[in-house]
Chains A and B, each alone.
Chain A
Amino acid sequence: MAARRSGSRAPKGASSLEPLLAAKEIVICCGSGGVGKTTTAAALAAMAAANLGGKVLVITVDPARRLANALGLERFGNVETQIRPEHFAAAGVAEPRGELWAAMLDTKQSWDELVRAHAPDAATRDAILANPLYANITSRFVQSHDYIAMERLYEIHASGRYDLILVDTPPTRNAIDFLEAPERMADFFSSRLLRWLTVPARSRVFTMASKPFYTVADRILGTQFLQDIAEFFLLFQTMYDGFVERARAVTRTLSDKRTTFVVVSTLEPSPVRETEFFVDALSDRKLHLGAVVLNKVLPDWFRDRDATAVAHRMSTDPAGLAKAVTEAPGGAGIGAPDQVARVLAEVGESFLNFQVVATREDEQRAELAAVADVVATIPYADHDITDLAGLLELGSWLWR
């Protein structure tokens, strides 16, 4: 344990993400909900734009208004917007070496664009866009968010407009859902059941395999709904080849050498469990784990042994200490001894409270340090990020 105060020193196992961002073209920030994925992605993008150069894009799925404001944008849109250099100047970076761009993922709009790109003709395109099931599937079908995020990432990357793209992932029920989304989408469109369903009812040839399917599906959903679904998928099938090819390309992008994953976590037990699970999932799929970023970590001086001794002193003998302090030369001006004693007791107890959490966190950190080469730590912030300076300050913890 460090004997000296070490609040400003990066904790053990810390490392910089600079080499990673300099080497990769796509950085996917993932992790469980509420750990700070969006902020981390934006902070890394700001650091890369300020220090590495090139065109850097951050795509967020989280419409955090304050983050948009922090980047100097009125609001995020599906269209990529450049963060004006003045905002860097205001944040103390007179000459950023590159450009910072930002965009938000609008699921519905992105699906519409995809349909426009792949529909064989205007009539089919309009029929799909007007189909009630289409609206429902694109807005409610949870996996459609996962898929479209990866799809859009692929499209922007393939356009070659950016040197580096950072993306935060949608808040999935399960962190690996989005990894499987492109594959599942391809599987889905090529599934046998879908083919059965899209055979017009009058020409259905019931086989031993398909008859029970129709029986069960009809009884659960009703014939009319099945026909609605069938009509929708018949329309959609006109885009089948383009779509499946596309989904496979998206999958390839995820495992491309130029792509890396940054897993963001806090040191709470549940996100840590999910992080470990996610790291395994990446490894199983031979995807590149670039770094683990630990967010909202308490300063390690909460575990300092000397400070702990002092904290015990303060909470067990606050009156004695208060007496000594107020009786020191000029000490009477501090306040009434009993009030001073209460303050000291609070200070000591508060320290010990936070220490319980800091100690637990340190154990979790040690466990995570074993699974990743690069483990960077962002300390607990006592204020919200309201501007680019705040993002860069946060990002600087990942850059040392």
Chain B
Amino acid sequence: MASPVPPTDLLDRRLLFVTGKGGVGKTSIAAALGSLAASQGRRTLLCEVDTKGDIAGAFETAPTEFREREVAPGLLAMTMDTEASLKEYLGLQLKLPLLARLGPLARTFDFVANAAPGVKEILTVGKLCYEVRERHYDLVVVDAPASGHIVGQLAAPEAINDLVKVGLVRDQTGWMLDILGDAPTTGVVVVATPEEMPVNETLELTVRLREETVVDLAAVVVNRVLPELFTRGEEKIFRELRRPDRTEDLAAAVGVPDPGGGPGRGSVEPLLDGAELAVKLRRTRAEHLGALREGLPPGTQLLYVPELFQRSHGVRATRQIAEALGAELGY
């Protein structure tokens, strides 16, 4: 199983699978981790497993393909394509006269990928482990499937071991398991937001990773953490300002006339309501964050990324998240 002593530096590992419940910002975090590693001079490969094209969005480049391409200095990006991975594998390992077999190969692939459990997954994991084994990169960051599917993917080599007794696929699982099970080399980064379902899924996933895979939990990234608006003393002042007479005084001081012709508070109230919403959200999220901290295995590395209130998601947002992660990692 996973070795008990994790490396101190997340980016010193060689292979990181970034996962999390849908909608938590998994791709943004994966892109930012890749970007951060590359900015430190590590030759980094960022691999998108679900072909949604969000990696290209994070760097505002043309859609990524199976053939890796540089999207930032020292950072290469690719999109996983299991069929292309199989072709590459056959070309490398079997020395099959590929051209002559493309037709049957495509049909075989269709069958193999759909019928034989774990084969599609192992072609994905295999390609990633191969890049690590061959030391083509200092770090491979995987924008992995969401938490519902990641375990099946990471457990594929063992599933194949159980089901397939001989054959070339079976022969390949040993070295993959060596890479996946070595904690200083490989780890999973789970992304969560401080909300109910993402926290629950994160906790369930950490248990399943431990029980069903050999892969180490490297870190949990808590994304979209809201800033604490007020200290306790400041919150008391805020409550005072919410009293109708105080709000009227504030509105008079601001000098923006009340549009509704009401008691003179109308222009100020949306601001106080907005702050109230922020305070309540922060409080609800703090509870979920507490549940997350409590439920994780002791010693799990937690990294916090603030809510960024961005205008758009692109290069600038990726850089901001990378900076936040860098600060959390002590760079």
Q: Which residues of A contact B260 (CB under 8 A)?
A: 4-5
Q: Which residues of A contact B275 (CB under 8 A)?
A: 346-347, 350-351
Q: Which residues of B contact A130 (CB under 8 A)?
A: none
Q: A133 CA to B110 CA in the complex, in Å?
A: 18
Q: A269 CA to B28 CA in the complex, in Å?
A: 12
A333→B240 contact, CB < 8 A: yes
The count of A-to-B residue pairs whose CB atoms sit within 8 angstroms is 249
Given contacts A222-B166, A324-B249, A351-B274, contact A342 B110 (CB under 8 A): no
Q: Is B117 an interface residue (CB 8 A)?
A: yes
User: 7 nearest interchain CB pairs?
Assistant: A33-B22, A34-B23, A222-B167, A212-B104, A324-B253, A382-B280, A222-B166
Q: Which residues of B contact A342 (CB under 8 A)?
A: 234
**Nearest Cβ in chain B — how far from A64, in angstroms?**
6
**Nearest Cβ in chain A — how far from B147, in angstroms?**
9
Q: A231 CA to B22 CA in the complex, in Å?
A: 37
Q: Which residues of B contact A140 (CB under 8 A)?
A: 117-118, 152, 159
User: Chain B interface residue count: which class?
Assistant: 35 or more
Q: Is B298 an interface residue (CB 8 A)?
A: no
Q: Which residues of B contact A92 (CB under 8 A)?
A: none
Q: Which residues of A contact B1 (CB under 8 A)?
A: none
Closest to A335 in B: B237
Known contacts A220-B169, A335-B236, A382-B277; 13 further A-B pairs (Cβ under 8 A): A5-B260, A5-B269, A136-B117, A194-B115, A219-B167, A228-B163, A307-B271, A313-B254, A321-B253, A325-B253, A335-B237, A347-B272, A382-B284
Q: Which residues of B contact A209 (CB under 8 A)?
A: 104
A225→B164 contact, CB < 8 A: yes
Q: Which of B4-12, B33-41, B127-135, B193-201 contacts A (4 or more CB under 8 A)?
A: B193-201
Q: A258 CA to B163 CA in the complex, in Å?
A: 43
Given contacts A222-B169, A335-B237, contact A229 B256 (CB under 8 A): no
Residue contacts A-B, CB under 8 angstroms, 7 given:
A212-B108, A309-B256, A313-B256, A325-B241, A325-B250, A325-B253, A328-B252
Q: Which residues of A contact B256 (CB under 8 A)?
A: 306, 309-310, 313
Residues of chain B in range 84-125 having any CB-CB distance to chain A below 8 Å? 94, 96, 101, 103-105, 107-108, 110-112, 114-119
Q: Is B327 an interface residue (CB 8 A)?
A: no
Q: Which of B21, B27, B196 has the most CB of A within 10 A?
A: B196
Partner of A301, one of B146, B240, B273, B309: B273
Q: A171 CA to B101 CA in the complex, in Å?
A: 36
Show the binding face of A for B, using Cβ within 8 Å. 3-5, 7, 32-35, 64-66, 132-133, 136-137, 140-143, 171, 173-174, 184, 188, 191, 193-194, 197, 209, 212-213, 215-225, 228-229, 233, 266, 268-271, 274, 299, 301-302, 304, 306-307, 309-311, 313-314, 320-321, 324-325, 328, 330-331, 333-335, 339-340, 342-344, 346-348, 350-351, 353-354, 356-357, 359-360, 380, 382-384
A220→B270 contact, CB < 8 A: no
Q: A380 CA to B281 CA in the complex, in Å?
A: 10
> What 1/0 mask marks residues of chain B from 209 to 240 whose CB sits below 8 Å from any chain A CB?
00000000000000000000110011011101
Q: A184 CA to B238 CA in the complex, in Å?
A: 59
Closest to B309 in A: A353
Q: Is B299 an interface residue (CB 8 A)?
A: no
Q: Is B246 an interface residue (CB 8 A)?
A: yes
B116→A32 contact, CB < 8 A: no
Q: A301 CA to B269 CA in the complex, in Å?
A: 10
B168→A304 contact, CB < 8 A: no
Q: Which residues of A contact B271 (CB under 8 A)?
A: 307, 310-311, 314, 347-348, 351
Partner of B274, one of A66, A222, A331, A347: A347
Q: Which residues of B contact A66 (CB under 8 A)?
A: 196
Partner of B163, one of A133, A212, A217, A350: A133
Q: A3 CA to B261 CA in the complex, in Å?
A: 12
Q: Is B74 an interface residue (CB 8 A)?
A: no
Given contacts A136-B117, A212-B101, A343-B230, contact A356 B311 (CB under 8 A): yes
A307→B104 contact, CB < 8 A: no
Closest to A188 in B: B114
> What 1/0 mask marks residues of chain B from 140 to 166 whose CB sits below 8 Å from any chain A CB?
000001101100100000010011111
**Nearest Cβ in chain A — how far from B54, in angstroms?**
6
Q: A353 CA to B271 CA in the complex, in Å?
A: 11
Q: Which of B24, B54, B197, B271 has the most CB of A within 10 A?
A: B271
A222→B165 contact, CB < 8 A: yes
Partner of B110, one of A193, A331, A354: A193
A193→B117 contact, CB < 8 A: no
Q: Which residues of A contact B268 (CB under 8 A)?
A: 310
Given contacts A5-B269, A307-B270, A311-B271, contact A34 B198 (CB under 8 A): yes
A306→B241 contact, CB < 8 A: no
B149→A197 contact, CB < 8 A: no
Q: A346 CA to B238 CA in the complex, in Å?
A: 10
> What 1/0 mask marks residues of chain B from 160 to 182 whose CB sits below 8 Å from any chain A CB?
00111111111000000000000
Q: Which residues of B contact A218 (CB under 8 A)?
A: 167
**Nearest Cβ in chain A — how far from B299, in angstroms?**
27
Q: Which residues of A contact B170 (CB under 8 A)?
A: 222, 225
Closest to A233 in B: B115
Q: Is B267 an interface residue (CB 8 A)?
A: yes
Q: A306 CA to B267 CA in the complex, in Å?
A: 6
B278→A216 contact, CB < 8 A: no
Given contacts A191-B111, A382-B280, contact A346 B229 (CB under 8 A): yes
Q: A325 CA to B148 CA in the complex, in Å?
A: 53
Closest to A145 in B: B148
B277→A325 contact, CB < 8 A: no
Q: Which residues of B contact A3 (CB under 8 A)?
A: 259
Q: Which residues of B contact A270 (CB under 8 A)?
A: 23, 27, 52, 54, 57, 313
Q: A268 CA to B238 CA in the complex, in Å?
A: 30
